[in-house]
Amino acid sequence: MSGFKFNPEKIVSELGQYSEQLLQSINTLQQIDEVSVGQTPNEIIYREDKLQLLRYQSEKTPGRKRCKTPLLICYALVNRPYMVDLDQQRSLIKRLLALGLDIYLIDWGYPDAADRYLDMDDYINGYISNCVDQVLQDSGQEQLNLLGICQGGTLSLCYTALNPKKVKNLITMVTPVDFKTPDNMLSHLAQQIDIDLAVDTYGNIPGAMLNDAYNALMPMRLGLQKNLNIPRQLKDPDSALNFLRMEKWIYDSPDQAGEMFRQFLTTFFKENGFINNRVTVGDRPVDLQQINQPLLNIFGSADHLVPPSASRALNGLTKSRKYQEYEVASGHIGVFVSSKSQTEVAPTIAKWLKQHD
């Protein structure tokens, strides 16, 4: 059995190159004043507690078909929604606006101790319901299109099942439906959590702790390999800004309202509520068979947080006669920030909504 063979001269050369890259990284960082995100112009049209409802309006270009039905984006609670507007070159929102959509977005804000006892009823029958009503009032329409992202997609499925007449078309993106597929590593981790002990101990669940859990799913790639590659990411200001915007989003993680965290993990990760028909919001059971509007289900083929099998489980659970799946060759985040987001995902969403407008 042969051991490792080291070339001392090559090691010295590589260490020298790495040191030069580190120095260049420092010089690059000194040229950057601010890491800006979420720069697409918008206005706040509604506030409730920590929540803000943002409105983006598309430019009216002669000859371009616009979608008359407004689109409300419901993002996940566990991260900040500017992932869909990370920068002007990788903004899903900016691209959708250019394709003729009027967009509203729910910014959940940062829960604090006052939000400790908010539950699924508060978020779905309270916040989301109020935002839907505000969008309909502001747009003058009787229905809206709803786009739910990740956990926000799960919440959007619940809302639509409870209020089908207010939603014209439903889009789910990287949304978990079956929370116990064999390849769902996040679910395997969640099964080991004593949810009651966690909530009773922390109150609100720290966002930093959830980040550690996500990183633990891919320790080499998101740990050692990522850190060793940082000097390459910081080789010039443009590359550095792309990297730093993503890092800002990753670690800008709001704490989670304790009771909402308890109910969501119990209902979906522990009991697999959609599959076993065991979802209740407030005193109302959620029946996905109440969803009969056109439904577009988008997921990433290489998603390690919400594997395709977890999203594809939606097929057949609703009564939609116009159910369509769209698989993107990317990971969880790449669906929103890769080049495919601009050239494939956004055009597919806009075209599908206009066809069903």
In the chain the beta strands, taken as DSSP E runs, fall at 43-48, 51-56, 71-74, 103-107, 144-149, 167-173, 280-281, 284-285, 295-300, 323-328
Going by C-alpha positions, the residue among 98, 125, 99, 122 that lies closest to residue 111 is 122
Tokens 């997609």 correspond to: 153
Taking the CA atoms of 237, 241, 247 and 251 in sequence, report the sign of the dihedral they define. positive
What are the backbone angles phi and psi of residue 64, rounded to the nearest 5°?
A: -95, 130
67 is catalytic: no
For residues 222 and 212, give the distance between their C-alpha atoms in angstroms, rounded to a whole number: 10
Tokens at residue 121, please? 């009823």
Catalytic residue among 67, 74, 150, 158: 150
For residues 116 and 101, give the distance between their C-alpha atoms in angstroms, rounded to a whole number: 36
Q: Is 205 helix (H, G, I), strand (E, B) or coil?
A: strand
Q: Catalytic residues, which ones?
A: 150
